[in-house]
Structure 1
């Protein structure tokens, strides 16, 4: 597109000059990238995005002034949220397990089964635990998996679930940093009055935001390599 720089709005002229469009498309054609959209569809998407942008801006205003004003000194820098293990249901147990020493039932037949994922960053590896929800672990053999689910697919689903949680964790933290920085700017603007230029000091900008440490496929060891995403 003709758009230059992240701070410039995308205009109708940008779409009109975009040569990465489709002149026509047969019904039921799979859309795999924006080049398969027609010019009219791209124009409609811009209008659609503007509606969301306005809602996002209103939410941004609300978050900044939520229980806060420039008269307050409270503007706590957000604290890091610890990375946690994640788990997902995978099925149920096919049989009952007994603890011979305690002569008691430890895992009951039809009891829900879960797969827990924990990322060991030091070893750059994943630790898997199949358990019954109360911390009692077992191997995947006695599990009756949900229809269409296998042990391998359960691990793949767990990885995607972990990555989603990790992105949400970092995204939430970065949003709070942006809100904190914006409040510092507004305090200065309020003190200077409207006649002073609305400028941004470098120390008030959010720099080097943390990235997500997600799990990426590795051709030799499976899903074991960690990378920023």
Structure 2
């Protein structure tokens, strides 16, 4: 089962492990990002907000369990985390899961088994997200409301007249605030087909959306660009200063 719309962050200080995991995940269509230390992993996670994190227990100065604890306090609070470890003692498994891990697999492991675990966690997460969306009538943020039933967007200044595609584009971004969406994924989600490498239509719609939504379209606050990667929705009206995450 391929998941071209899912991004995975792999954190391990053993290059052979990250290369092996990346190889198998990329074969399944995942976008894979790697890091060998906690500080860099936090930067990537805060920028990208991946769909799932594969995290080794021992990664140097900041161990994986400490990193997991930090991740759970930020934007990745709900992102599934699968721990990797050479240790099989019960206390390590219990410690990792008690600090916010969702699953645990010991080294050496079967790459196909890890892929199956990842796919299972992603399916469960998507099911929860769909249930939440079905029960939600609107997405509300300070100064902005996206009414999913009436298909209306309201700023403090009043209703914003959006086209159907502009509304769908904003809704996709706003359902997962701060998550960076690659151009290809946004195109698939809104136009329900492959872009075949031509994402100009998407960029034109982003430009039009900003003209209607932003106080200063040249310095967008709601719909931000992550240079070299894609777009994200920022409900805190931050400045457009994001850098692209490192790709493995």
TM-score, with structure 2 as normaliser: 0.20
Determine which structure has the larger helix proportion and give its number.
2
Which has the higher Rg, Structure 1 or Structure 2?
A: 1
TM-score, with structure 1 as normaliser: 0.22
